[in-house]
């Protein structure tokens, strides 16, 4: 397993944001379901998205790569698995959304993944698919993977919780247009990570799906027997990934510009821009770029991150060096990510000398005068690894971030980009 040695650094320069992981997953899945050939340009090619691309092939699509352009000849919803086994690797998006798509096949498919995936909740989704007529069950304990799913989806009125993962809702929305009858989906509890559902709906609308909702994302009506059209899409840059170099600029007193960012797009994590301003950083927004300067002092903030869980790791690091208290609230769903991110952040920030309080659904962080370099665990979690690398840029001495092999899950060029900006980072294997 590889590790990073990080030393205090000043940053400067311009980089390009990697393509969006969320858009890439959904684009390939919709292309699988569409009747005809879809064209996907500049997708993110990382560990998680490759799990989806391989699953799309296994479910019957033909995938052709031509440089940075990918052509996908879809199935028109006529899912015929080439194999009856899908390995989602470390990708929660893959196992959840492909489980719903597997409900369109009369043949059973087993979906599983690595040890982290085997701990991810699947029960509510599998139960809902069964209520819609699929043959679906969890083989793991307490509604955990592996799961076995076969069709067909008949339709009907169902409820599903929004409090665990928005991926449950996106999964149903992807498959439901191909149900034999109409699907009326009601969301119970608070829908967290709502912007990810908005991305799903945006791409489904691009493919011609007829889906209506109540405006509050609590009730969806999806007519059955639809056929999705092919899409032609250039994947936008990823704000979730760009948040790390932008946050690094804020805490190191540096100026960094990240290109390929559209502030007008649907990504919820574009919220990093106003949050950095609230911390006290200077932020400039261009047509397709964001520039952050951290010349002044930073102050603590309070932010409801229910819709932005992927921003929490870098926000916690920024809060660790900001004056006063930072509270990141409404984030119980962070406990169901690649690791329990609330516990991981609290544990590792304390090693850096930061007073951190972990509550059931929030983090309280008391900004420290300085961070003390330490050896930090990544918990085999890409966002933990990147967040702790950013922390190491302002910690005294050297910081070692262990097990960084998973960074390419969402940001394959992270280490190269940070070095390009001047970060003193050494990769050891």
Supply the residues annotated as catalytic.
310
CA distance linking residue 182 with residue 93, whole number of Å: 25
Residue 376 is encoded by which pair of tokens?
Answer: 């930090």
Find, among 175, 173, 168, the residue nearest to 191 by Cα. Answer: 168
CA distance linking residue 253 with residue 382, whole number of Å: 25
CA distance linking residue 355 with residue 365, whole number of Å: 6
DSSP of 19-69: BPHHHHHHHHHHHHHSSSEEEEES---SHHHHHHHHHHHHTT-EEEEETTE
Residue 355 is encoded by which pair of tokens?
Answer: 């007073």
CA distance linking residue 363 with residue 242, whole number of Å: 22
Buried b (16+ CB within 10 A) or exposed e, 230-260: bbebebbbbbbbbbbbbbbbbbbbbbbbbeb
CA distance linking residue 16 with residue 258, whole number of Å: 5
């Amino acid at each position: 397993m590889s590790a990073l040695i990080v030393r205090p650094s000043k940053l400067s320069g311009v980089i390009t944001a990697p393509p969006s992981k969320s858009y890439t997953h959904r684009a390939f899945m919709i292309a699988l379901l569409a009747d005809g050939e879809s064209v996907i340009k500049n997708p993110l090619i990382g560990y998680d998205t490759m799990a989806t691309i391989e699953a799309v092939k296994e479910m019957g699509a033909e995938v052709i790569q031509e440089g940075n352009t990918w052509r996908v000849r879809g199935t028109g919803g006529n899912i015929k698995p080439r194999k009856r086994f899908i390995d989602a690797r470390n990708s929660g998006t893959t196992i959840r959304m492909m489980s719903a798509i597997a409900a369109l096949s009369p043949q059973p498919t087993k979906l599983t993944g690595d040890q982290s995936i085997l701990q991810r909740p699947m029960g509510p989704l599998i139960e809902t698919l069964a209520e819609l007529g699929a043959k679906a069950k969890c083989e793991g304990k307490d509604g955990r993977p592996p799961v076995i799913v076969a069709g067909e989806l008949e339709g009907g009125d169902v409820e599903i919780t929004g409090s665990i993962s928005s991926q449950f809702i996106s999964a149903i929305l992807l498959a439901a247009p191909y149900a034999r009858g109409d699907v009326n989906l009601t969301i119970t509890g608070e829908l967290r990570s709502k912007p990810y559902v908005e991305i799903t709906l945006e791409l489904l609308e691009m493919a011609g799906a007829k889906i209506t909702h109540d405006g509050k994302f609590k009730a969806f009506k999806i007519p059955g027997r639809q056929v999705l059209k092919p899409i032609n899409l250039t994947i936008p840059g990823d704000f979730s990934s760009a948040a790390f170099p932008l946050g690094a600029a804020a805490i190191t007193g540096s100026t960094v510009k990240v290109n390929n960012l559209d502030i007008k797009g649907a990504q919820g994590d574009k919220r990093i821009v106003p949050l950095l301003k609230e911390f006290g950083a200077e932020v400039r927004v261009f047509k397709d770029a964001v520039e952050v300067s951290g010349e002044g002092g930073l102050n603590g903030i309070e932010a409801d991150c229910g819709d932005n869980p992927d921003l929490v790791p870098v926000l916690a690091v920024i809060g660790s060096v900001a004056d006063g208290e930072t509270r990141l609230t409404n984030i119980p769903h962070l406990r169901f990510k690649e690791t329990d991110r609330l516990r991981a952040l609290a544990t590792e920030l304390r090693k850096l000398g930061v007073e951190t309080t972990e509550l059931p659904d929030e983090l309280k962080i008391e900004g420290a005068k300085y961070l003390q370099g330490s050896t930090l665990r990544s918990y085999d979690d890409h966002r933990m690894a990147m967040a702790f690398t950013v922390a190491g840029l302002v910690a005294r001495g050297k910081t070692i971030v262990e097990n960084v092999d998973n960074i390419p899950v969402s940001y394959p060029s992270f280490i190269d980009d940070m070095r390009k900006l001047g970060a003193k980072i050494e990769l050891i294997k």
